[in-house]
Amino acid sequence: MRVLLIDDHALVLKGLQELLESRGVEVVAAANSGREGIECATTNHPDIILLDVMMPEMDGLETLRQLRRDGVTAPILMLTMSHEESHLAEALREGAQGYLLKDMEPDELVPALHDAMEGKNVVAKELLGALTRIVQGGPAEQELPATPISDLTPRELEILEHLARGQSNKGIGRALGISEGTVKLHVKSILRKLNATSRVEAAVMAVQQGIGRKDAS
């Protein structure tokens, strides 16, 4: 696993790099600004990106938007001290794979990265209540766009249900008796039809429509 770190605090970058490398994870670059992070992403092609939210000049959410505009498809996890629901909602809308807090247990970080690499949605447990409020309809500024669920085929709806439960492509394939490659094709079609930028956003849209909610833990 090749990780890119983007954070404006030098001590945080150094600590994260040492933590990850001590657990056998390769850090391909450590950028101290959004603009530098974008350059590193396009030149180093990391497998996954850890991105701070609160940064000067170009904050993490703006950096996230630009990374997606530039065609960076690697999973992006926000790693921040911000508990703001608006930051969580916007990060998911803009294509983040998840949202973690910097005060998380160090031993939980690498498993979270592996989960994201497998296509799972990763959100700090302290923010699950906020996530529930967002997907069930919060204040107007947090609402997500209307979703053309009716455009999906029966198989795509079935797969969307599993996405809403946070399952990976491999897990969905096992559950439905189809190959992981077939699942990937269906997920791509689902994202296109829903005009969603990530599987996390598609899952949020699904839960808004009551899809998969009855199976949520």
Of 111, 135, 159, the position where a domain reaches its end is 135
For residue 107, the domain's CATH number is 3.40.50.2300
Q: How far apart are CA 3 and CA 44, in angstroms?
A: 10
The pLDDT value given to residue 63 = 96
Of 135, 164, 199, the position where a domain reaches its end is 135
Assess whether 74 and 39 both reside in one domain: yes
- Please write the tens of the pLDDT for every residue from 119-154: 888 888 888 777 777 666 654 344 444 457 778 888
Residue 48 clears pLDDT 90, i.e. is over it: yes
Of 81, 109, 135, the position where a domain reaches its end is 135
Neighbour tally for 180: CB within 10 Å: 14
How many domains does the chain divide into?
2
**Phi and psi at residue 35, in whole multiples of 5°?**
-65, -40
Assess whether 46 and 90 both reside in one domain: yes
123 residue type, one letter: V
In-domain check, residue 118: yes
Quickly list H helices, 54-179: 60-69, 85-93, 106-117, 128-135, 154-164, 169-176
In-domain check, residue 48: yes
Closest of 119, 108, 104 to residue 168, by C-alpha:
119
Assess whether 56 and 116 both reside in one domain: yes
Chain mean pLDDT for the chain: 86
In-domain check, residue 140: no
Point out the least confidently predicted range of 34-48, 101-115, 146-160: 146-160
Assess whether 14 and 121 both reside in one domain: yes
For residue 203, the domain's CATH number is 1.10.10.10
Beta bridge partners of 48: 3
Could you list the residue range(s) of the whole structural domain that residue 184 is in? Answer: 145-215
Point out the least confidently predicted range of 101-105, 109-113, 150-154, 176-180: 150-154
Closest of 98, 104, 92 to residue 78, by C-alpha:
98
| Share above pLDDT 70 across residues of the chain, in percent, rounded to a whole number | 89
Closest of 98, 85, 94 to residue 132, by C-alpha:
85
Mean pLDDT for the stretch of residues 87-102 = 89
